[in-house]
Amino acid sequence: MPHRLVIHRPAFLSLVYSIIGLLGLIGVSHGEPASMGIPKKKVVFIAGNPSHGPGEHEHRAGCTLLANQLNKSGLPIQAVVTTGGWPNDESIFSGASAVVIYSDGGSGHPAINHMAELEKIAAAGIGIGCIHYAVEIPKGEPGNALLNLLGGYFEPNWSVNPHWEPFFKLPKHPVTRGIQDFKIRDEWYYHMRFQENGVGVTPILSALPPPETLSRPNGPHEGNPEVRAAVLERKELQHTFWVYERPAARGAGRAFGFTGGHYHKNWQQDNYRRIVLNAIAWIANFNIPENGIPSKTPTDEEMSANLDRKS
């Protein structure tokens, strides 16, 4: 049909989002509606304090990198970063569509003394995401709270934290749009404690860990009889990244838990970085484009920016 103009959907969507992004830059600030009436989705990153050695647990640098990627995507998304743990000024959450925590966890989790505030945020339908160590919190009341917010969490003496290189075959989901199957070495936690029967939970990155991931003696993070039976005997796939749709009783919002994020260098790998950007946008109730959130590979200069000073 030589006289008919055909616009392929992915290209058309990219054009539309580019126009929206341009209008957003011209007419939107601080989450106010653009001239087209489309408000920006505000994402708040909570970056934890310095931790581990250089290039590991780079919370500030990682949050800033991901925020910059979202802000440069050309889409109506506005990301802001607060550093040093839970913000002193909680007005930063005003107008937020999603809150993402990238920090140490356990008894030092930024939300452990602010769980009521986080639950209130979630009850308003705001998305909640946790990256790496931030998916771990002590068992009991804090663990139950995080379980209800994320749909799953790292439970000591149940979950494990080995370094390994899984190959991930991706399911079909908005979070996997534009992402190819990939493998990468990281400290991928697994055998997470999930909601009973997995209600509302959708695994995104899953693999069968090799036996060497359970070579350490039993311990709060190293191994236990339950995980050994699941992996070594029953050969059950383990989920290292999941998304969750909370029931109406808990605000009907969205959430994710991403257990990778130990090595800062991994954010330079396109599939690894972009699937997390997709998840962040998804929990903010943004409609993910067919090709995923636009994201250019960070330069070495961008990767080295905002790193914490460590001995």
pLDDT in tens, 229-285: 999 999 999 999 999 999 988 778 999 999 999 999 999 999 999 999 999 999 999
Closest CA to 129 of 252, 256, 240: 256
* Residue recorded with tokens 């109506």: 76
What does the pLDDT read at residue 167?
98
Q: What is the pTM of this model?
A: 0.88
Distance separating alpha carbons of residues 237 and 205, to the nearest angstrom: 10
CA dihedral (206, 208, 211, 217) in degrees, to 10, reads 40
What does the pLDDT read at residue 13?
40
Q: Tell me the average pLDDT across 28-33.
A: 32
- Give 182's strand partners: 168
Whether 137 contacts 143, CB under 8 Å: yes
Distance separating alpha carbons of residues 279 and 283, to the nearest angstrom: 6
Those residues whose C-beta lies under 8 Å from the C-beta of residue 1, and which sit 6 or more positions away, are none
What does the pLDDT read at residue 19?
41
CATH topology of domain 9-304: Rossmann fold (3.40.50)
Split at pLDDT 50, 70, 90, the class of 2 is very low
Each domain of the chain, given as residue ranges in start order, spans 9-304
Split at pLDDT 50, 70, 90, the class of 17 is very low
What does the pLDDT read at residue 24?
37
Q: What are the φ/ψ torsions at residue 279 (nearest 5 degrees)?
A: -65, -40
Q: In the predicted model, is pLDDT for residue 226 greater than 70?
A: yes
The count of C-alpha atoms lying within 13 angstroms of the C-alpha of 160, restricted to the half-sphere facing its C-beta, is 24
CA dist list (Å): 208 to 161, 188, 249: 14, 12, 34
Of 14-23, 187-196, 264-273, 282-291, where does mean pLDDT reach its minimum?
14-23
